[in-house]
Homo-oligomer: A and B are copies of this chain.
Amino acid sequence: MTKFDVVGVGNAIVDILAKVDDAFLEKHELPKGGMSLIDEGQAQAIYDDMPPAIEASGGSAANSLAGIASLGGSCAFIGKVKNDTLGGIFAHDLKAIGVHYETAKAEDGAATAKCLISVTEDAERTMATYLGATRGMTTNDVDEALIKDSKILYLEGYLWDEQHAKHAMRKAVEIAGQYERKVSLSLSDSFCVDRHRAEFLELIEEGVDILFCNEDELKSLFETDNLEVAIQKISEKCEITAATLGSKGSIIVSSAGTISIAAGQNLNVVDTTGAGDLYAAGFLYSYSQGKSLAECGKTATIAASEIIQHMGARPEVKLSDLLDAA
User: Which residues does A use to contact B, with CB under 8 Å?
Assistant: 18-19, 47-48, 50-57, 66, 84-86, 89, 92-94, 96-97, 310-312, 314, 316
Docked-complex contact A53 and B93, CB < 8 angstroms: yes
A93 CB contacts on chain B under 8 angstroms: 52-53
10 additional contacts, CB 8 Å, given A19-B316, A47-B92, A52-B314?
A50-B96, A51-B97, A52-B66, A52-B93, A52-B96, A53-B92, A54-B55, A54-B56, A55-B55, A84-B85
A47 CB contacts on chain B under 8 angstroms: 92
Q: Is the interface of A mostly helix, strand, loop or mixed?
A: mixed
**Which residue in B53, B54, B66, B92 is a CB contact (below 8 Å) of A50?**
B92
Say how many copies of this protein the assembly contains: 2
Docked-complex contact B85 and A312, CB < 8 angstroms: no
Complex Cα gap A92–B52 (Å): 7
8 tightest CB-CB pairs across the interface, nearest first?
A55-B55, A85-B85, A52-B93, A54-B56, A52-B96, A52-B97, A51-B96, A54-B54
A57 CB contacts on chain B under 8 angstroms: 52
A89 CB contacts on chain B under 8 angstroms: 53, 55
Pairs across A and B, CB under 8 Å, 18 listed: A19-B316, A47-B92, A50-B96, A51-B96, A51-B97, A52-B57, A52-B92, A52-B93, A52-B96, A52-B97, A52-B314, A53-B89, A53-B93, A54-B54, A54-B56, A54-B312, A55-B89, A85-B85
Q: Which residue of B is nearest A44, CB measured?
A: B88
Complex Cα gap A86–B48 (Å): 15
Instruction: From A51, A55, A66, name the one whose CB has the most chain B CB atoms within 10 angstroms.
Output: A55
A51 CB contacts on chain B under 8 angstroms: 96-97
A50 CB contacts on chain B under 8 angstroms: 92, 96
Complex Cα gap A52–B55 (Å): 12
Complex Cα gap A53–B91 (Å): 11
Complex Cα gap A316–B53 (Å): 9
Q: Which residue of B is nearest A315, CB measured?
A: B52
Complex Cα gap A47–B93 (Å): 10
Docked-complex contact A92 and B316, CB < 8 angstroms: no
CB distance from A41 to the nearest CB of B (A): 15
Complex Cα gap A48–B311 (Å): 24
Q: Which residue of B is nearest A16, CB measured?
A: B89
Complex Cα gap A97–B51 (Å): 6
A52 CB contacts on chain B under 8 angstroms: 57, 66, 92-94, 96-97, 314
